[in-house]
Each structure stands twice: as structure tokens, then as C-alpha cells.
């Protein structure tokens, strides 16, 4: 049986819901839910909350790199290399945020925030970095008339940059896809989010891609055409019934 001792007070930690907890000092440590093996080191409450913020910056950064053409594995390697450079460490394997103490996690947080700011969308047409236009909440490449919007109240791109032609195609793809899940939600009385998720899972299967990569905002012209083809047989039915719902 695995036993974990709190590094702050030397009390034996308790395991519950995938975490090792120290009751006297509220320290926490992530564990493998099956083996209960502690991942990294236990963290006090300040370090824990900073660690959570680091993870969210980390995920954001993975997304940004993916939109710029890296695979998830390549993105993780890139972030790991950049973080190793910040800490001047040369450990084997990927850089681990859950090994850092309170001082180091603060440095990591700042570094991840900076890396996010620096990792702007690269224009797929001219390979130059785009500019963020805060008044319009878009990243833009003027010479190519390419742009992408951002998630509300963030500077996280919604997908990859698109020129006028691709933007029109994505809009058209949405006009075929969205009524299907809206109809499903209304007719089966299920939450919109759930219906939308089901539609994307269905579409991913049809397009033979991973559901994580199934977003109209990431599709090229050819993929948008595939969306239209797959949805076309159902669109009239959904639209006609939507009027009655």
C-alpha cells in the first residue's frame, strides 16, 4: 500500500478522489487515480492555486501552438523546452509544473503568461505573425486579409486564421451544421451544449478525424466542403421541422 507523508508537517496524507490530502495543513497532491501514486510533490494552498493557474495557461499555450500547426506532442515538447530554458534545467522527460515550490511556481506562471502573449497566430498564407487588434478583438494579417476572432474576454484565438474566401466557407459550413444540433436540442428537449457535442462527435466520425480537431474554426476550404456534404442530407428536414418546433 502506498503511503504519502506531507512534506510540510510530516503527517500521513489521506487519499480521496484522486488526491492526497494533508488534513492538518491542507496540502494537496495529485495522484494517478488507479495506482494512487503521487505525481510531482504535494503543494500548500498558495502553491496549489498557482499550479492550477499554470495548468490553465499551459492548456491555452498548447491550443495556440496547435493552431500554428504543431501536434499536441510537439506543442508539449516546445513548451517543455521553453520552460527548461527559463529554469535553466536539463532534466530528462517533459518539464513538470507539479514539482515546483511556491517561489518557482510564481516564476513559471509569469513565464507561461509571457509565452502565451508571444505565441500569436501565424498567418497561414504568408507565415508572418499576426497583429492583435484589440478594438475588434481579432488577430489580423493585413496583406493577406486574413483574420481570426478570440474567445470572449480573452486573447485566445477561436481557431486558425482565414482569408475572406475561407471565412465565407466556414460561415457556410456553420449554416449547415448548426441547424442540425439546434433541431436535435429543441426536438429532443436536451441542452444545446449536449446536442452540439453530439453533432461534433458525429461529424468527426464522418470526417475520420479526432473530435478534438473537429471545429469549423480550424477547417480549411476542403474540410468545410466535407461538412456541407455530410450535413446536406439532413438540413432540409431540420430546417422545416425547426419552423414547427
Give me the 170-209 binding string for Zn ion, x by CB under 5 A, dash otherwise.
Answer: ----------------------------------------
Among 83, 100, 141, 231, binds Zn ion (CB under 5 A): 141
We find the least distance from the C-beta atom of residue 129 to Zn ion, in angstroms, to be 9
User: How far is the C-alpha of 192 from the C-alpha of 211, rounded, in Å?
Assistant: 18
We find the least distance from the C-beta atom of residue 44 to Zn ion, in angstroms, to be 8
- The end-to-end CA distance of the chain, in Å, is 58
Which residues within the stretch 149-168 sit at the binding site for Zn ion (CB under 5 A)? none
Whether the CB-CB separation of 131 and 119 falls below 8 Å is answered with no
Whether the CB-CB separation of 150 and 158 falls below 8 Å is answered with yes
Which residues within the stretch 11-30 sit at the binding site for Zn ion (CB under 5 A)? 11, 22, 25, 27
Q: DSSP string covering 174-217, please?
A: HHHHHHHHHHHHHHHT--HHHHHHHHHHHHHHHHTS-GGG--GG
Give the residue with the Cβ less far from Zn ion, 22 or 214.
Answer: 22
User: How far is the C-alpha of 181 from the C-alpha of 241, rounded, in Å?
Assistant: 12
Q: Does 46 bind Zn ion (CB under 5 A)?
A: no
Q: Does 144 bind Zn ion (CB under 5 A)?
A: yes
Whether the CB-CB separation of 141 and 128 falls below 8 Å is answered with yes
User: How far is the C-alpha of 38 from the C-alpha of 46, rounded, in Å?
Assistant: 19
We find the least distance from the C-beta atom of residue 108 to Zn ion, in angstroms, to be 23
Q: Does 8 bind Zn ion (CB under 5 A)?
A: yes
C-alpha cell at 123: 498567418
Number of residues near Zn ion (by CB under 5 A): 12
Give me the 106-135 binding string for Zn ion, x by CB under 5 A, dash otherwise.
Answer: -----------------x-xx---------
Residues that bind Zn ion (CB under 5 A): 6, 8-9, 11, 22, 25, 27, 123, 125-126, 141, 144
Amino acid at each position: 500500500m502506498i503511503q504519502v507523508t506531507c512534506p510540510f508537517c510530516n503527517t500521513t496524507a489521506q487519499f480521496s478522489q484522486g488526491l492526497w490530502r494533508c488534513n492538518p495543513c491542507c496540502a494537496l497532491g495529485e495522484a494517478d487515480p488507479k495506482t494512487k501514486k503521487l505525481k510531482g510533490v504535494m503543494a500548500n494552498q498558495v502553491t496549489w492555486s498557482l499550479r492550477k493557474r499554470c495548468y490553465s495557461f499551459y492548456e491555452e499555450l498548447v491550443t495556440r501552438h496547435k493552431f500554428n500547426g504543431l501536434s499536441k506532442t510537439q506543442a508539449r515538447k516546445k513548451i517543455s523546452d521553453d520552460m527548461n530554458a527559463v529554469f535553466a534545467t536539463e532534466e530528462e522527460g517533459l518539464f513538470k509544473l507539479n514539482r515546483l515550490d511556491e517561489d518557482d511556481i510564481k516564476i513559471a506562471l509569469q513565464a507561461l503568461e509571457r509565452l502565451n502573449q508571444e505565441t500569436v497566430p501565424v498567418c497561414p498564407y504568408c507565415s508572418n505573425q499576426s497583429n492583435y487588434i484589440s478594438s475588434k478583438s481579432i488577430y489580423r494579417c493585413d496583406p493577406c486579409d486574413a483574420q481570426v476572432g478570440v474567445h470572449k474576454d480573452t486573447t485566445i484565438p477561436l481557431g486558425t486564421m482565414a482569408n475572406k474566401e475561407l471565412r465565407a466557407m466556414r460561415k457556410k459550413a456553420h449554416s449547415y451544421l448548426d441547424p442540425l444540433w439546434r433541431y436535435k436540442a429543441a426536438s429532443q428537449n436536451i441542452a444545446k451544449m449536449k446536442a452540439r457535442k453530439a453533432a461534433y462527435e458525429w461529424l468527426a466520425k464522418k470526417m475520420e478525424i479526432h473530435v478534438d480537431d473537429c471545429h469549423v474554426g480550424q477547417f480549411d476550404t476542403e474540410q468545410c466542403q466535407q461538412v456541407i456534404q455530410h450535413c446536406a442530407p439532413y438540413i432540409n428536414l431540420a430546417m422545416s421541422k425547426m419552423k414547427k418546433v
